């Protein structure tokens, strides 16, 4: 039942000899319910990700090798790379696999400094701070940025790490309809007029949280419109207290803020934009208009960890106050080196044009695969240029059959159901990589087409049925 490959991602630092074993913990039954007492046989274990640019992965059971159409390895860096891998191995020898210290207690190596400068420069912000895990970056940063008396307006389909961060912050959370700027504007206007619950005082701060590419939808964020709305509405905060020298009365200085924009680029940084700089570059948004830029290294960069990039003051503030920076062990040096090296390749600083080729390839591959699926009659979500393409299955009962049949024909796809999606909007989520060749994609399309016929998920028959 759970023989589908759910929720895996290659976090293998591009090291040739690292054999990866990952348990698939997100085990669900065909209704998407978590199965707590699943027998061991229900866990899919990947013996290793093979080294041929992550096109294949090997499983211990029955199928030994299959085309990997599910990993977030957008640029193919989660495999041995002629530029990155030797440098990662060197950093492993020079530093160690782990720092065994927090950033403030001896866990900051020269690589940690370098990776932060490199990321800030890449995303187009004055400064950046790096964390050991992408999920933690969202869930730990939001509570530092905002608290009681503040308002978070979150896209209804934001990732769980954002949802948890928002809940943990103690701020009031309001949700706007997925990627609909007019609804964001409505919520923002209502909330500014209403103020804090019960007291109706003005909000201390407002943060609007969106994603660059939505991981279950494949859609690009309507960032230009969202940024314009956040700039348009000024929040008048009267909570800055100045003690009057004359006595006991407080003067409330009235300050105006715009609503801050928080952008999670986990799936878009490195994957879209002419030079891989994400949705701002692709959609022509000035990075100065995005106050807090967040992203992860687990997708396009083939490493692990996450970052926040912003103004120097913001990053300085986070470095002094964020518990995940002060109390958590710093990111592993080889992982930091992998990030630095892959960014250098993307920017062509390795002296080759491989970065530009990878970027052109992922765009070409994504657009080819999406249009072919549509021609075959599948309902495919998402926008052009996005490497994430969900194929709608709707009925969650079709999930096991779809993934099992694909696996039988040596194609691994990720299937997703409730609670990651609404109950009746189950889907198979394809992720395209720059390392897929045209032959890989054609093979994948053939298999998906056959399985699509078998489980009857095509929107219309590709050819008229014979009587
Ligand atoms: N944000 C988004 C939008 C994600 O999709 C994910 C995970 N895929 C994360 C954050 C967490 O990142 P990580 O897996 O690197 O911890």
Predicted confidence (pLDDT) per residue in 102-154, tens digit? 999 999 999 999 999 999 999 999 999 999 999 999 999 999 999 999 999 99
CATH of the domain spanning 22-81+355-454, picked from 3.90.1150.10, 3.40.50.880, 3.40.50.720, 3.50.30.30: 3.90.1150.10
Measure 214 CA to ligand 1 centroid, in angstroms: 10
How remote is the CA of residue 296 from the centroid of ligand 1, in Å? 7
Pairing between β-strand 234-243 and β-strand 250-258 as defined by DSSP bridges? antiparallel
Q: Is 425 helix (H, G, I), strand (E, B) or coil?
A: coil
Q: Are 58 and 46 in contact, with CB atoms under 8 Å apart?
A: yes
Would you say residue 5 has pLDDT above 50? Answer: no
The complex's ipTM works out to: 0.99
Residue located via tokens 């929720």:
7
Q: In what order do the strands lie in the sheet with 388-394?
A: 388-394, 426-431, 414-416
pLDDT digits (tens, 9 = 90+) for 411-453: 888 888 887 888 889 999 999 999 999 999 999 999 999 999 9
**CA–centroid distance, residue 206 to ligand 1 (Å):** 23
Give the H/E segment covering residue 307.
Answer: strand 306-310
Q: Are 155 and 209 in contact (CB under 8 A)?
A: yes
pLDDT value at residue 238? 53
Torsions phi, psi for 324 (to 5 deg)? -70, -15
Report the C-alpha gap between 39 and 345 in whole angstroms. Answer: 43
> Which residue carries 């207690």 as its tokens?
105
pTM metric for this prediction = 0.86
Sign of CA dihedral 186, 192, 196, 198: negative
As beta bridge partners, residue 236 has 256
Domain coordinates of the chain in residue numbers? 22-81+355-454, 84-346
Q: Distance between CA atoms of 269 and 277, rounded to whole angstroms?
A: 6
- 463 CA distance to ligand 1 centroid (A)? 39
9, 159, 279, 386, best to mutate for ligand 1 pocket (most atoms within 8 Å of CB) = 159
Tokens 């211990």, residue located = 60
Pocket test for ligand 1, best of 140, 217, 298 (most atoms within 8 A of CB): 298
Q: CB-based burial of residue 399 (10 Å sphere; 0-12 exposed, 13-18 middle, 19+ buried)?
A: buried
Atom 13 of ligand 1, residue of closest alpha carbon:
134
- Strands (DSSP E) contained in 374-462 are 388-394, 411-412, 414-416, 426-431
Do 304 and 246 form a contact (C-beta atoms < 8 A)?
no
Ligand 1 atom closest to residue 306's alpha carbon, by position in its atom list = 15
User: pLDDT confidence of 335, banded at 50, 70, 90?
Assistant: very high
What mean pLDDT is predicted for residues 91-107?
94
How many CB atoms are closer than 10 A to CB 44?
A: 22
* d(CA 158, ligand 1 centre) in Å: 10
Ligand 1 centre to CA of 376 (Å) is: 31
Which atom of ligand 1 lies closest to the CA of 298? 15
Are 22-81+355-454 and 84-346 the same fold in CATH? no
> What are the DSSP E strand ranges found in 355-417?
388-394, 411-412, 414-416
Sign of CA dihedral 72, 76, 79, 84: negative
Helix (H, G, I), strand (E, B) or coil at 430: strand
Q: How many angstroms separate the alpha carbon of residue 127 from the centre of ligand 1? A: 21
Q: Fold for domain 84-346?
A: 3.40.640
Name which residue sits closest to atom 12 of ligand 1, judged by CA. 134
């Amino acid at each position: 039942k759970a023989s589908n490959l759910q929720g895996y991602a290659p976090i293998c630092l591009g090291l040739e000899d690292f054999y990866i074993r990952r348990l698939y913990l997100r085990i669900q039954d065909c209704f998407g319910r978590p199965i707590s007492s699943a027998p061991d046989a229900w866990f899919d274990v990947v013996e290793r990700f093979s080294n041929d640019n992550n096109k294949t992965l090997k499983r211990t059971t029955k199928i030994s090798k299959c085309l990997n159409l599910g990993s977030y390895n957008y640029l193919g860096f989660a495999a041995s790379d002629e530029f990155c891998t030797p440098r990662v191995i060197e950093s492993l020898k020079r530093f160690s696999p782990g720092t065994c210290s927090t950033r403030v207690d001896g866990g900051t190596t020269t690589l940690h400094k370098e990776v932060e400068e490199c990321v800030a420069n890449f995303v187009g912000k004055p400064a950046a701070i790096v964390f050991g895990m992408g999920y933690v970056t969202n869930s730990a940063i939001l509570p530092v940025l905002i608290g009681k008396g503040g308002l978070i307006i979150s896209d209804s389909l934001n990732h769980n790490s954002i949802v948890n961060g928002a809940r943990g912050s103690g701020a009031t959370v309001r949700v706007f309809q997925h990627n609909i700027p007019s609804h964001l504007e409505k919520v923002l206007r209502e909330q500014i007029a209403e103020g804090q619950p019960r007291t109706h005082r003005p909000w201390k701060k407002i943060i609007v949280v969106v994603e660059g590419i939505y991981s279950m939808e494949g859609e690009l964020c309507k960032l230009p419109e969202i940024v314009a709305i956040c700039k348009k509405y000024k929040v008048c905060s009267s909570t800055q207290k100045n003690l009057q020298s004359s006595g006991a009365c407080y003067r409330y200085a009235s300050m105006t803020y715009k609503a801050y924009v928080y952008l999670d680029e986990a799936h878009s940084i490195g994957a879209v934009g002419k030079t891989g700089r994400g949705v701002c570059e692709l959609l022509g948004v000035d990075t100065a208009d995005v106050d807090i830029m967040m992203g992860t290294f687990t997708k396009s960069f083939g490493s692990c960890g996450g970052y926040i990039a912003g103004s120097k003051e913001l990053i300085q503030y986070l470095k002094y106050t964020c518990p995940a920076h002060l109390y958590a062990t710093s990111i592993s040096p080889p992982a930091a080196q992998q990030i630095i090296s892959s960014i250098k390749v993307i920017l062509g600083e390795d002296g080759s044009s491989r970065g530009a080729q990878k970027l052109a390839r992922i765009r070409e591959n994504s657009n080819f695969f999406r249009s072919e699926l549509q021609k075959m009659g599948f309902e495919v979500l998402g926008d052009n240029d996005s490497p994430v393409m969900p194929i709608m299955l709707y009925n969650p009962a079709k999930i096991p059959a779809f993934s099992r049949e694909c696996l039988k024909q040596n194609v691994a796809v990720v299937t997703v159901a409730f609670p990651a999606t609404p109950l009746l909007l189950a889907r198979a989520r394809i992720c395209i990589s720059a390392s897929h060749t045209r032959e890989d994609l054609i093979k994948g399309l053939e298999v998906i087409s056959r399985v699509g016929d078998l489980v009857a998920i095509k929107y219309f028959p590709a050819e008229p049925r014979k009587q």
